[in-house]
Amino acid sequence: MKSTASFARLRRMGRSLLVWGTAITIACLLALLIWARPRPDMILYCGAAGLIASVLVISRVWARRKRLAARAAGANTAPRPKPTPPPSDTKTLVAQMLKQGRYALLLRPEIRPNLSEDQLVQALETLMNEMAAVTGGAVGPYHNATDLACDDDDPPQRGWSNVAPFYLDRCTVTNQQYALFVAAGGYDSYELWMPEVVPAIPSLVDRDGYPGPRHWSGGTFLPGTEHEPVVGVCWYEAAAYARWVGKRLPTDAEWQKAGSCPVMVAPGQMVDRRFPWGDAVDRTRINIWGSEPGGIVAVGHYAQRSIGGIQQLVGNVWEWVADDFGLEPRGPRNKIQLPTPMKAIRGGAFDTYFDNQATCQFQSGENPMSRRHNIGFRLALSVRDLEMPPPQEE
């Protein structure tokens, strides 16, 4: 299924072609009048056609301005949904949190002792079904978009690091999952958000001015997209959702570790994969430019071809990670000076043209406030965050 964002882009292109086509038609008619010197009746016909075309162009531009003004006004006037108050009894509250996908909170050492045996089993089963365990270890160098312009014989190498064991979402967060956050009043719960972005929260609205991702309409996702990755959310929206469900964005090294499966064959020598399945691109396993889907697909589209239980780690949509773009360069000459701080994104998307930008080692960056049509996210959870503290000796 092609994404609604793709259709919206096609509609915008169609409108632009219509406007420019009309303008070119008017110009051609004027040139014809000057060159051919036609009869008076032909001048009348051409004048009428030019007038109609001019009215059409003006009406289109005027209607677009009215729509933009209505959206800008709607960002402040659209009614915000009222969140459902939490249940008063513990059993119902736990059931609600499990339904919302907030099982990670229930498994925290501070809360776990309050669960019944059945509730604990259900939370653990949900964790195993929704997240994949990734072993800790070393992660090799990566490269990013700035390296493509490097004509040095010794291109930058970045990012040797070690990661601790962690869990990673098997799939990117879907529209349906994100809608639970919106319905619960996530955009009004400022304690979930980083302080620096709180003043901008009222501007994080959909097409009709309701709180939510940029490409939603009327406060909800478009029909037929419930199982597609949520896109049109900035880095801060992804981080707020992560805090709500009790998880976090993966670090850049964790994301690369989950996809490349690195093996340290000798000190300082590592063998890892360019793609989760190997070193060669396989367009039957990845949704990038030239693959069959041609747009965003559901998170389970390649379920039968997942590696290690993690689906679509590359392709379909870029994924926000926790780190800044260009983190941990090797040496002072490789430091990146950016006019605006950027956050790292990984994995490539359905419209990524170059294969090497959809590898496990490639890092790109984006403004953290950007709400692009091809950036989503998945979440991580540290194993140590779920460990029960050792009993204290009496």
**pLDDT tens digits, one per residue of 259-295:** 887 776 666 666 788 888 888 888 888 999 988 778 9
Between CA 349 and CA 317 the distance in angstroms is 4
pTM of the model: 0.76
Indicate whether 38 and 165 sit together in one domain: no
In a domain, 390, yes or no: no
275 and 369, same domain (yes or no): yes
Residue 333 CA to chain centroid, in angstroms? 31
d(CA 163, CA 143): 18
Separation CA 109–CA 360 (nearest Å): 33
Q: How many CB atoms lie within 10 A of CB 366?
A: 18
Q: Residue 188 and residue 368: Cα distance in Å, rounded?
A: 20
Cβ proximity of 314 and 348 under 8 Å:
yes
Q: Are residues 210 and 322 in the same domain?
A: yes
**pLDDT at residue 339 greater than cutoff 90:** no
Burial of 211 (0-12, 13-18, 19+ CB in 10 A): buried
Task: Report the CATH number that the domain containing residue 149 is assigned in CATH.
Answer: 3.90.1580.10
Residues 140, 73: one domain?
no
Considering only 77-91, 131-145, 193-207, 339-353, which range has the smallest mean pLDDT? Answer: 77-91
Residue 11 lies in a domain: yes
Tell whether 67 and 143 lie within a shared domain. no
In a domain, 264, yes or no: yes
> What percentage of the chain has pLDDT greater than the value 90?
49
Nearest-angstrom CA–CA distance, 358 and 312: 11
Domain assignment present for 345: yes
Task: Say if residue 239 is in the same domain as residue 342.
Answer: yes
Do 185 and 298 share a domain, yes or no?
A: yes
* Per-residue confidence (pLDDT) for residue 290, from 0 to 100: 85
Give yes or no: residues 26 and 157 share one domain.
no
Helix (H) or strand (E) holding 345: strand 343-346
DSSP string, 100-123: TT-HHHHTSTTTGGGS-HHHHHHH
Q: Would you say residue 224 lies in a domain?
A: yes
Picking from 61, 77, 93, the residue at the C-terminal end of a domain is 77
Instruction: Say how many domains are in the chain.
Output: 2
Q: Which residues contact 222 (CB under 8 A, 6 or more apart)?
A: 4, 215, 216
Give the range of the structural domain holding residue 32, as residue numbers without chain letter: 4-77
Domain presence at residue 322 = yes
